[in-house]
Amino acid sequence: MKSLRITILLTGIGLFATTQALADGPCSVQALAGQWVFATDVGRQALGDPFPPGKDITAIGVFRVFKDGSVSGQFDATVQDSFFLPANTFTGSMTVNPDCTGTVVFITSAGTSRMDSIVVVNRSEILGMSQDPLNLWNYQVRRISSNLANDDDDSDSD
**Does residue 68 belong to any structural domain of this protein?**
yes
- Which residues neighbour 61 within 8 Å (Cβ) at sequence distance 6 or greater? 37, 38, 73, 74, 75, 76, 88
Number of domains in the chain: 1
**Does residue 18 belong to any structural domain of this protein?**
no
For the cut 70, the answer to whether the pLDDT of residue 138 exceeds it is yes
Considering only residues 9 and 138, tell me which one the structure prediction assigns the higher pLDDT: 138
Give, as one character, the DSSP assignment of residue 6: H
Return the pLDDT at 9: 45
**Does residue 112 belong to any structural domain of this protein?**
yes
Question: For position 55, which CATH number holds?
Answer: 2.40.128.120
Please, what is the end-to-end C-alpha distance for the chain in angstroms? Answer: 38
**Does residue 117 belong to any structural domain of this protein?**
yes
**Does residue 153 belong to any structural domain of this protein?**
no
Percentage of the residues of the chain whose pLDDT score is greater than 90:
54
| pLDDT level of residue 5 (50, 70, 90 thresholds) | low
For the cut 80, the answer to whether the pLDDT of residue 64 exceeds it is yes
Radius of gyration of the chain (CA): 20
**Does residue 87 belong to any structural domain of this protein?**
yes
Return the pLDDT at 133: 84
For the cut 80, the answer to whether the pLDDT of residue 57 exceeds it is yes
Rounded to whole angstroms, the Cα distance separating 136 from 34 reads: 27
Tell me the residue ranges of DSSP E strands in the chain.
34-40, 43-44, 56-65, 70-79, 83-96, 101-108, 113-122, 125-130, 138-145
Least confident segment among 52-56, 83-87, 130-134? 52-56
Return the pLDDT at 59: 92
Domain limits for position 88: 29-146
Query: In this structure, what is the dihedral angle of CA atoms 108, 111, 39, 91, given to the nearest 10 degrees?
Result: 10
- Which residues neighbour 111 within 8 Å (Cβ) at sequence distance 6 or greater? none
**Does residue 14 belong to any structural domain of this protein?**
no
**Does residue 135 belong to any structural domain of this protein?**
yes
Return the pLDDT at 126: 98
